[in-house]
Structure 1
Amino acid sequence: MKKYIVVALLCLTGLVQAQEALFSGQQVSSPQVNDDKTVTFRLSAPQADTVQVTGDFLPSVKVDTPMGKVDGPGKALLTKNEEGVWSFTTSVLAPELYSYAFIVDGFKTTDPANPFLIRDVASVTNIFIVSGKQADLYRVQDVPHGTVASRWYDAKTLGFDRKISIYTPPGYESSTAEYPVLYLLHGAGGDEEAWLSLGRTAQIMDNLIAQGKAEPMIVVMPNGNVGQDAAPGAGSDGYYTPQFMTPETMNGKYEAQFKDIISFVESNYRIKADKAHRAIAGLSMGGYHSLHISRYYPNTFDYVGLFSAAIMAREDKSGAGVYDNFEETLETQKDNGYQLYWIAIGKTDFLYEANEEYRAMLDKMDMPYEYTESEGGHIWRNWRVYLSEFVPLLFED
């Protein structure tokens, strides 16, 4: 009998210790957005020698990537109190959605006190919002909400089914109206989830529509990686480490198969299926795709948005001549007419020079476009702004 009592006490002691371990980290508040719009980060790590926070709220630094040197998040040291809790308080932050992570003795990790996470390629970071101004578009507000559906379509040109994300505006299900469509394309390393999780597309659309600043529209967010059927973990390949540049990236096959996407959308949704009610836009690789899709199908879209776009074509492996006659097809697109050709880029973006050269070519052709330039580089902070500025320009009567 005594043996069973000892075992029970040991089990109870282990359970108490496990509960203490489980809940001790939860008692630290992090991040704490203060009334003065500073933010305090905390981490309980009594045994650590150094703790840093890294995030896009800090001054950026140049980092080496497959795209060359780009803006990356800076770092700041936390200080440790006698209870072993490390902390750091920022200066006043502008309203924005920010991402961050901790670095503990050189090991990068997420904040155990913050359950809100996003994935960008293979990096997982925590997020928080400092409210006000532009950032209020990224928050869920007390307004009518649209619906986000994850669908599969038959990519006949590629020979397999693929996943696609589709936003329908508030009231779509209860109405009989037909809607215009924005095809919104992600960058390298992204997938059909990127514009929703990193770009806050559903929140931006809900809020702009509620404010009367945007026409109710359907937003179609395909997967731009022709070798994938879906985002990592969401398709037939199961769980694997996401790659920045997937096989067959930007080789013409995505542009060649894009009519399969349009056909699926126009067969399954109440669409105003004409050029005047179609828009296409994308960031980086998605800007590249938007540029080449819109000129390859030169009488299909009345609105084109290039956000920090890659420009010049790579080797064409589509078999369809997608990248042939670059300037001639742009001339055809110009002659067919369109409502808006919109180019946006940050002043320190590594693609800035390529965009300057492209605009010089358009100027020489007398091809009309609108141009906006922002601070910063190749970052989601810019692309969320570009989306929120581009959408109100669409489908105006």
Structure 2
Amino acid sequence: MKNYIVLVFALSFGILSAQESLFNGQQVSSPEIHPDKSVTFRLNAPKADSVYVTGDFLPSVKVQSPYGEMDGPGKALLTKNEKGVWTYTTEALAPELYNYAFIIDGFKTTDPANPFLIRDVASVMNIFIVPGEQADLYRVQDVPHGTVASRWYDSEGLGMDRKISIYTPPGYEQETKKFPVLYLLHGAGGDEEAWLTLGRTSQIMDNLIAQGKAQPMLVVMPNGNVIQDAAPGAGSAGYYTPNFMVPKTMNGMYEANFDEIIHFVEDNYRVKANKENRAIAGLSMGGYHALHISRYYPDTFDYVGLFSAAIMARGDESGEGVYSNFEETLKNQMDNGYELYWIGIGKTDFLYDANKDYRAMLDEMGMPYEYVETEGGHIWRNWRIYLSDFVPLLFQK
């Protein structure tokens, strides 16, 4: 009888807790995307004195960073009604994936009515998608889907097992044929999860392949921070505050040991293990890595993509001379031949001038490349577009 009473009490408590979460936790709908593509944000905060929304859907403002002045998100004031609900409605927004947060009496926090979150370095933000056009590539559509696996590979050169994310195209498990590979590298503050969460890589790949705009391929997303075995919270170091610039990430060690990643993929997956079927691309620091890996292994990749890339080398601690003879190794890469050397940058990107100087050097060398210049700065909105434009150019021969 006592056990029965305890069981009834436990069930009743669980039901009451669930009811409390249901009726008290979600009192407003936010964000609400309207048919005209305007968006309404709501927050139930009757005791708050001020509520702002901040996000990349608002006009950008200039902010100071360790790398100089950069574009940052603006903010807009919500208005409070007699019930204590704060509201703000945007103008019609262009189709895109957007992020946002609330600022309540000076305290920045997420939207309690929206459970969809992403982490960018140490910032956690809500997201929403205004559908249509380019943004439809970022949505999960009713198409065949690929598989994303988290694998660990043994890095003898870096002295640890390291985590890696690998996308295999729809039908890979049922196929017997081999596939080409894109190695896709993250920027500073990122990790092996960044291109999947912030970059929407699996959704972009599924949709482009379904549309017949891209060849089925593997996408390999390693961790470019050589002192980490995995993303913060996913590795042996446990939970800690992520840093924007992890030590030793641009000192040549990653580039010098990148062949271990290639060997792991080619030993464990059905891939075409030749130059014609390998591509490498990356954003910001990942663009820096892609630039230097592709010339350090000059007969390895037929396709190279530099997305808002950091350019010139820092101190080389690899002991392998990764950054030595910069122009000579670029010339070797050019002489070996390649199908595509692709450079993309935003007009207000803080790395714009460095990319302009780099292109002038390539022009002087006679090294062919394709160049795309977009609006905006050093932002994921551009990098998702670059990936969407770059992938259809790969492995078409």
Q: Same fold (TM over 0.5)?
A: yes
What's the offset of the Cα at 1:23?
3.0
Q: Does 1:204 align with 2:214?
A: no
Aligned-partner SS, 1:287? helix
Query: Paired residue for 2:32?
Result: 32
CA distance in 2, matches of 1:356, 1:100: 32
What's the offset of the Cα at 1:27?
2.1
Q: Deviations over 1:349-385 (max 9, x none)?
A: 0000000000000000000000000000000000000
CA distance in 1, matches of 2:39, 2:65: 29
- Does structure 2 retain, via aligned residues, the 8 Å contact 1:63–1:72? yes
CA distance in 2, matches of 1:98, 1:253: 35
Query: Paired residue for 2:60?
Result: 60
What's the offset of the Cα at 1:243?
0.3
What's the offset of the Cα at 1:18?
9.9
- Does structure 1 retain, via aligned residues, the 8 Å contact 2:182–2:219? yes
Give 2:228's aligned amino acid: Q
- Does structure 2 retain, via aligned residues, the 8 Å contact 1:98–1:129? yes
CA distance in 1, matches of 2:180, 2:200: 20
What's the offset of the Cα at 1:220?
0.1
Query: Paired residue for 1:316?
Result: 316
Q: Does 1:100 align with 2:121?
A: no
Query: Paired residue for 2:281?
Result: 281
Paired residues, number: 385
CA distance in 1, matches of 2:290, 2:144: 30
- Does structure 1 retain, via aligned residues, the 8 Å contact 2:27–2:44? no
Query: Paired residue for 1:396?
Result: 396
Q: Deviations over 1:286-315 (max 9, x none)?
A: 000000000000000000000000000000
CA distance in 2, matches of 1:89, 1:359: 43
Aligned-partner SS, 1:26? coil
Closer, same or farther in 2 for the Cα pair 1:85/1:25, shift >3 Å?
farther
- Does structure 1 retain, via aligned residues, the 8 Å contact 2:303–2:339? yes
Give 2:94's aligned amino acid: A
Query: Paired residue for 2:5?
Result: none
Q: Does 1:342 align with 2:342?
A: yes
Q: Does 1:215 align with 2:215?
A: yes
What's the offset of the Cα at 1:24?
2.5
CA distance in 2, matches of 1:89, 1:269: 48
CA distance in 2, matches of 1:182, 1:167: 10
Q: Does 1:382 align with 2:369?
A: no
- Does structure 2 retain, via aligned residues, the 8 Å contact 1:163–1:230? yes
CA distance in 1, matches of 2:43, 2:344: 38
CA distance in 1, matches of 2:304, 2:87: 45
What's the offset of the Cα at 1:281?
0.1
Give 2:141's aligned amino acid: Q
Query: Paired residue for 1:331?
Result: 331
Q: Can you give the 5+ residue segments of structure 1 that lack an aligned partner in the other structure?
A: 1-11
CA distance in 2, matches of 1:17, 1:115: 18
CA distance in 1, matches of 2:381, 2:186: 14
- Does structure 2 retain, via aligned residues, the 8 Å contact 1:98–1:127? yes
CA distance in 1, matches of 2:391, 2:17: 53
Q: Deviations over 1:55-101 (max 9, x none)?
A: 00000011112222111110000000000000000011000000000
Query: Paired residue for 1:87?
Result: 87
Q: Deviations over 1:247-300 (max 9, x none)?
A: 112000000010000000000000100000000000000000000000000000
Alignment of 1:136-285 (within 5 A): 136-285=136-285
What's the offset of the Cα at 1:17?
10
Aligned-partner SS, 2:26? helix
Structure-1-length-normalised TM-score? 0.95
Aligned-partner SS, 1:135? helix
Structure-2-length-normalised TM-score? 0.95
Give 2:85's aligned amino acid: V
- Does structure 2 retain, via aligned residues, the 8 Å contact 1:343–1:372? yes
CA distance in 1, matches of 2:256, 2:70: 30
Q: Deviations over 1:94-114 (max 9, x none)?
A: 000000000000000000000
CA distance in 2, matches of 1:40, 1:67: 34
What's the offset of the Cα at 1:16?
7.3
Aligned-partner SS, 2:357? helix
Give 1:107's aligned amino acid: F
What's the offset of the Cα at 1:21?
7.2
| Farther-moved stretch of structure 1 (153-162 vs 184-193) | 153-162
Give 1:292's aligned amino acid: H
Query: Paired residue for 1:69?
Result: 69
Query: Paired residue for 2:3?
Result: none
Closer, same or farther in 2 for the Cα pair 1:21/1:193, shift >3 Å?
closer
- Does structure 2 retain, via aligned residues, the 8 Å contact 1:25–1:44? no
CA distance in 1, matches of 2:249, 2:69: 20
What's the offset of the Cα at 1:159?
1.2
Alignment of 1:40-55 (within 5 A): 40-55=40-55
